[in-house]
Structure 1
Amino acid sequence: MSPKRADKIATGVIYGIVGIICAILLFIIAHVLIKGLPSISLGFLTKPAESFQAGGGIGPQIFNSLYLLVITLVISIPISLGSAIYLTEYAPKNKLTSAVKTSVEVLSSLPSIVVGLFGFLLFVIYFGWSFSILSGALTLTIFNLPTLVRVMQQSLASVPDSQREGTLALGLTRWECSKYILIPSALPGIITGVILCAGRIFGEAAALIYTAGQSAPALDFTSLDITSPSNPWNLMRPAETLAVHIWKVNSEGITPDAVDISNGSAAVLIIAILIFNILARYLGKVLYKKMTGGASK
């Protein structure tokens, strides 16, 4: 077989694999949207859920998912960025650094259910925080920390060494180099990684079943008592997210229109995750163009 023919066959196989993957993805998205979009309405998106009668909504679950997402990112981004800067710019190449990097890789491969059980034992039981937004946010931080650290570390490492050497030659400290040169240059990749992790956090269920809880109390946005379970900003209240709600509705089956609620919730969830991914690509291109002064590919 000639090299040119072998190259064409290999190229065709690669295109075929890509086509199969895209077809599977499109089939899943189309199936979920076709089943779920008819169930979505303004009332469905704003009303609270009902346990024993039809017509419930997912308003509190959507708010809980977004609120938990924000709290998790507020906690995890500074920790991840600091860790990435240390591992990339400060950490010496020795056995300790290698052990830290290996630990990060191992932690990223842990199943979410295992991390959820760890969060349950540590935050819910040991610290006595019960099922709460704070317990769920800290558990999700542990779950997504390795991915964020790795993405930020790769973004910082991709900055050319000439920029580091130039800033240090001008008399800037290593921290000033990181603050004014490396972080702005790596910002497109960092933001892309953060948004992709946000989609992963928004769709997580297993870890939150054991930490944030499976109940969604009625929320009173006029309440000024931050300790009240009905206060939406109370970090110590239980918070059933959208992904957990889908699992709960399907597992209990006590709601007459459980199938419609499940399909509609799944459609809202997949639309939100698609928005996160599209936003990641768009912001990455815009920031790359702005930071480099050229057109992004």
Structure 2
Amino acid sequence: MKAKSVDKFFNSILYIVSIFIILLLISLISYIIFNGRNFLRFEFLFGNPKIGEAGGGIGPQLFNSFYMLIISLLITVPLGVGAGIYLAQYAKNKRLLYIIRLCLETMSSLPSIVVGLFGLLVFVKATGWGFTLLSGSLAVAIINLPGLTRVSENAIISSASLVEEASLGLGATRWQTIKKVVLPSAMPQILTGVILASGRIFGEAAALLYTAGMSAPILNIHSNVTSKSFPLNLMRPAETLSVYIWQLNSEGMVPDAAQIANGAAAVLIIMVLVFNIFSRIIGNKIYKKYTGSK
């Protein structure tokens, strides 16, 4: 009876803590969206900033955030998942594994401002690129790579323990087993790592200040592909939404800087929520397709 009472007591504490965290998250999201509700308009979402004037929009910054998300994930996901596959399936030298994992843990503990300074020295200065979208994407990839690698490794190890021997026993090669059996089974956990990496990209500001810059040229799809105003040019400055929010709150370059910052923060929160929801839906569909579950 005493053990049951203790069990119920600690279960109740865990439920209370969980409910408190959920309420805190809902309150925070509601507060941010409520404060920025007046700016959730078409002109604000797709308009250009007006330096020194009231009003203006966040169109270039919004586009830069999504574009940097795509470019950074194109760099991070193949490297992170590939490294996870190597560590989980192919690396057998324990000393080498220890060194690689130590390096990953060290990289994951680096402050983003340090990665930003490294990006400034290497991607901005040493390469001669200057402040570019590509420099920012590479800096964010360095931040996200350790976490995605460890998530992928753990997901593959846990999934492989259930299905790998059965697949190999049926005559499949190691690569066929990894590609057709292990990776689909590990996809939900890997997708969680990708979602966490994406959230870091949306919210990152410190590293991007020193690599992508704090200017957002007015974008024009009809301009030359090498022009700084061409949207898909990787070698142009690219101020993201999080950097723009920081700039508004720190410099106050427009009369209604606080209101625009509140609206941009609301848009950023909604972007993260929508991306998380759609990523979960897509991940579940991929998992069901490969596993044959309904």
Give the TM-score category using the shorter length: over 0.9
- Compute the TM-score of the two structures, normalised by the length of structure 1: 0.93
SS at 1:159 equivalent: helix
SS at 2:159 equivalent: coil
Instruction: Tell me how far 1:171 sits from its aligned partner.
Output: 4.3
Instruction: Tell me how far 1:289 sits from its aligned partner.
Output: 3.6
Q: Which residue of 1 is the match for residue 291 of structure 2?
A: 292
Instruction: Tell me if structure 1 keeps the 8 A contact 2:216–2:237.
Output: yes
Q: How does 1:1-297 map to 2 (within 5 A)?
A: 2-161=2-161, 163-223=163-223, 225-294=224-293
Instruction: Tell me if structure 2 keeps the 8 A contact 1:191–1:283.
Output: no
Instruction: Tell me if structure 2 keeps the 8 A contact 1:44–1:56.
Output: yes
Q: Structure 1 residues 286 and 180 mapped into 2: Cα distance closer, same or farther (>3 Å)?
A: closer
Instruction: Tell me if structure 1 keeps the 8 A contact 2:184–2:291.
Output: no
Instruction: Tell me how far 1:181 sits from its aligned partner.
Output: 2.2
Overall identity of the aligned pairs, in %: 50
Amino acid at match of 1:272: M
Instruction: Tell me if structure 1 keeps the 8 A contact 2:48–2:58.
Output: yes
Of residues 16-25 and 60-69 in structure 1, the stretch that sits farther from structure 2 once superposed is 16-25
Instruction: Tell me if structure 1 keeps the 8 A contact 2:75–2:141.
Output: yes
Instruction: Tell me if structure 2 keeps the 8 A contact 1:196–1:280.
Output: no
Q: Distance in 2 between matches of 1:218 and 1:202?
A: 21
Amino acid at match of 1:213: G
Q: Distance in 2 between matches of 1:284 and 1:180?
A: 16
SS at 1:11 equivalent: helix
Amino acid at match of 1:197: A
RMSD: 1.7
- Compute the TM-score of the two structures, normalised by the length of structure 2: 0.94
Amino acid at match of 1:239: A
Unaligned runs of 5+ in 2: none
Q: Distance in 1 between matches of 2:290 and 2:177?
A: 16
Instruction: Tell me how far 1:174 sits from its aligned partner.
Output: 2.2
Instruction: Tell me how far 1:269 sits from its aligned partner.
Output: 0.1
Instruction: Tell me how far 1:291 sits from its aligned partner.
Output: 3.5
Q: Distance in 1 between matches of 2:165 and 2:3?
A: 44
Instruction: Tell me if structure 1 keeps the 8 A contact 2:184–2:287.
Output: no
Q: Distance in 2 between matches of 1:273 and 1:140?
A: 16
Instruction: Tell me if structure 2 keeps the 8 A contact 1:144–1:197.
Output: yes
Instruction: Tell me if structure 1 keeps the 8 A contact 2:184–2:286.
Output: no
Instruction: Tell me if structure 2 keeps the 8 A contact 1:129–1:236.
Output: yes
Instruction: Tell me how far 1:170 sits from its aligned partner.
Output: 4.3
Q: Distance in 1 between matches of 2:162 and 2:193?
A: 24
- Aligned pair count reads 294
Q: Distance in 1 between matches of 2:115 and 2:192?
A: 24
Instruction: Tell me if structure 2 keeps the 8 A contact 1:214–1:240.
Output: yes
SS at 2:36 equivalent: helix
Amino acid at match of 2:274: I
Instruction: Tell me how far 1:294 sits from its aligned partner.
Output: 3.7
Amino acid at match of 2:272: I
Instruction: Tell me how far 1:58 sits from its aligned partner.
Output: 0.1
